[in-house]
Amino acid sequence: MSRTVVVTGATSGIGRAAAREFAERGDRLVLAARSPDTLADVRAECEKVGAEVLDVPTDVTADGAVAALADAAVERFGGVDVWVHTAAVMAYGRFDETPERVFEQVVRTDLLAAAAVARVALRHFRANGGGTLILTGSVLGHITAPFMSGYVASKWGLQGLARALQQEARETPGVNVCIVSPGSVDTPVYQQAANYLGRIGRPPPPITTPERVARAIVDCADRPRREVSVGRLNVVMRFGFTVLPGAYDVLVVPLMRLAGLSNRPVEPHEGAVFTPNPAGESVRGGWRPDLAQVVRGVGALPATIGGVVRRRLR
Catalytic residues: 151
Spatial contact of 281 and 89, defined as CB atoms under 8 Å apart? no
For residue 9, CA distances in Å to 58, 178, 264, 293 come to 9, 17, 27, 31
DSSP string, 250-309: HHHHHHHHHHSEEEEE---B-TTSSS--GGG--S--S----HHHHHHHHHHHHHHHHHHH
Strand pairing category for 53-57 and 261-265: unpaired
Question: CB count, 10 Å around CB of 244?
Answer: 12
Distance separating alpha carbons of residues 222 and 8, to the nearest angstrom: 19
Spatial contact of 188 and 17, defined as CB atoms under 8 Å apart? no
Distance separating alpha carbons of residues 68 and 75, to the nearest angstrom: 10
Strand pairing category for 28-33 and 53-57: parallel
Distance separating alpha carbons of residues 91 and 270, to the nearest angstrom: 8
Question: CB count, 10 Å around CB of 39?
Answer: 25
